[in-house]
Amino acid sequence: METAEFEKLAREALKQLPEKILQQMDNIDLVVEESATNDQLAYSVVKEGKSLLGLYEGIPLTERDDYGMVLPDKISIFQDSIEAVCTTNEEIVREVRNTVIHEVAHHFGIDDQTLDNIGI
C-alpha cells in the first residue's frame, strides 16, 4: 500500500474515535513510520513471535503532574509490520484502526493487560 494511503487510514481511524475521547487528547502526535527503530524496539515490550505494530511514547494522562513545556507525546504506527500480518486491504484497515485505538488507550493510561482483557 502506498504510504500516503496508509497515513490516511491512520488519520481516519483517529477521527472515528468518539468526540469525548478526542477532546481529552492533549499534546499528542500520530505518525506513520515504515518500521520501528532499534530504540523503539528496545523501549517496547514485544512478546516473542509478535510484531510491533504501534507504539505510544510519552507520559499518559493519568501520570501527568505539573505538565508543561514538553514535546508532544507520539503514537507511531508501523506500516511494514501491519502489512506483514495482513493479507488483504480490509485486514490492513482493521489492523490500523485497532492499533490506533490500542495506542490511544495507552495515552489514557490503560496498560496492555487491561487492553488484552477487553480484547483490544
Distance, CA of 74 to CA of 30 (rounded, Å): 6
Gyration radius of the chain over CA positions: 14
Instruction: Assess if CATH 3.30.2010.20 describes domain 3-118.
Output: yes
For 27-45, what is each residue's pLDDT tens digit? 899 999 999 998 888 888 7
The pTM (predicted TM-score) of the whole model is 0.89
Altogether, the residues listed in the chain come to a count of: 120
For 56-113, what is each residue's pLDDT tens digit? 999 888 888 877 777 889 999 999 999 999 999 999 999 999 999 999 999 998 887 8
Domain ranges across the chain: 3-118
Quick one: which of 34, 54, 49 has its CA closest to 101?
Answer: 54
